[in-house]
């Protein structure tokens, strides 16, 4: 299990918490396939993960726009950085099927990005958006 439920903090917006719960479940399934070195499953779940990340980020960006969050651009640019890294890794996966590269990314950069991003940007955005839990 890459993420235990408590690894990613709750924020004060129910929709964002729901997006995070969904993403953690998908990433954990993907990580299980990586540990099992199941190439077909990794290929299948990579698509699911890409779709889910886009849904997660786009939903937050739309909420920020609607509520005119003052730091929307900085928050979005953090999303863009991760979008690019995941897209690059996906291209590398399609060409090389390098399971270890995916494992290293998930357990290192991806996990720490997620924990820190939620603690820093999502938590602050959620305070601005309201809708407390
Ligand atoms: Fe988020
Ligand atoms: Fe975010």
Helix 39-67 and helix 14-35, axial crossing angle in degrees, nearest 10:
160
How far does the centroid of ligand 2 lie from the alpha carbon of residue 121, in Å? 6
Query: CB-based burial of residue 114 (10 Å sphere; 0-12 exposed, 13-18 middle, 19+ buried)?
Result: buried
How far does the centroid of ligand 2 lie from the alpha carbon of residue 113, in Å? 10
Count other Cβ atoms within 10 Å, centred on residue 58: 12
Specify the CATH number for the domain of residue 31. Answer: 1.20.120.50
The predicted-structure confidence for 26-59, as pLDDT tens digits, reads as follows 999 999 999 999 999 999 999 999 999 999 999 9
User: Is the torsion defined by CA of 70, 5, 51, 110 positive or negative?
Assistant: positive
pLDDT at residue 5 in the model: 84
pLDDT at residue 131 in the model: 73
Which residues span the domain enclosing 12?
A: 5-129
pLDDT at residue 81 in the model: 98
C-alpha torsion angle, residues 76, 79, 85, 90 (rounded to 10): -120
The predicted-structure confidence for 69-101, as pLDDT tens digits, reads as follows 999 999 999 999 999 999 999 999 999 999 999
Ligand nearest to the CA of 19: 1
Count the domains in the chain: 1
Ligand nearest to the CA of 82: 2
Rg (CA), the chain: 15
How far does the centroid of ligand 2 lie from the alpha carbon of residue 35, in Å? 27
Predicted TM-score of the model (pTM):
0.95
pLDDT at residue 133 in the model: 46
């Amino acid at each position: 299990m890459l993420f235990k439920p408590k690894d990613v903090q709750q924020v004060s917006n129910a929709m964002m918490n729901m997006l995070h719960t969904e993403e953690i479940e998908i990433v954990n399934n993907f990580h299980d396939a990586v540990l099992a070195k199941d190439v077909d499953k990794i290929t299948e779940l990579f698509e699911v993960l890409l779709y889910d990340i886009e849904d997660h980020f786009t939903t937050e960006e739309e909420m920020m726009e609607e509520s005119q969050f003052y730091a929307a651009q900085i928050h979005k640019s953090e999303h863009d950085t991760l979008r690019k890294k995941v897209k690059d890794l996906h291209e590398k996966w399609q060409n090389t099927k390098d399971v270890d590269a995916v494992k290293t990314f998930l357990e290192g950069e991806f996990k720490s990005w997620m924990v820190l991003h939620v603690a820093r940007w999502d938590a602050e955005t959620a305070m601005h958006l309201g809708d407390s839990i």
